[in-house]
Amino acid sequence: MAGSSRISRRDFVKVVTIALSSVMGAALGIPVIGYLIDPALKVQSSEAWIPLGPLENFPLGSPKSFSFTRSSVNGWEKTVNSYGGFILRKTETDLLALSSRCTHLSCSVNWDEGNNNYACPCHAAHFGSEGEVLDGPPPAPLDRYETKIEEGNLFIFFQKG
Ligand code: FES
pLDDT on residue 42: 61
Q: Which atom of ligand 1 is nearest to the CA of 138?
A: 3
Q: Best mutation site among 103, 122, 135 for ligand 1, i.e. most ligand atoms within 8 A of its Cβ?
A: 122
Smallest CA separation from ligand 1 atom 3, residue: 123
pLDDT at position 36 is 67
For atom 1 of ligand 1, the residue with the nearest CA is: 105
**Ligand 1 atom index nearest CA of 121:** 2
CATH number at 47-159: 2.102.10.10
138 lines ligand 1 (CB under 6 A): yes
Residue 106 corresponds to which amino acid? S
Report the pLDDT value the prediction gives residue 37, as an integer from 0 to 100.
64
20 C-alpha vs ligand 1 centroid, how far in Å?
A: 64
Q: Give tens-digit pLDDT for 44-75.
A: 678 999 999 999 999 998 999 999 999 888 77
pLDDT for residue 2: 45
Find all residues with CB under 8 Å of 88, minimum gap 6, and list them: 62, 63, 95, 96, 97, 98, 129, 130
Ligand 1 touching residue 136 (CB < 6 A): yes
Q: For residues 16 and 28, what is the distance between their CA atoms, to the nearest angstrom?
A: 18
Query: pLDDT value at position 77?
Result: 83
Q: In the chain, which residues have pLDDT < 70?
A: 1-5, 34, 36-44
The answer to whether 112 touches 118, Cβ cutoff 8 Å, is yes
Q: Which of left, alpha, beta for 131 (phi over 0: left; psi -120 to 50: alpha)?
A: left
Sequence-distant (6+) residues with CB within 8 A of 57 are 64, 154
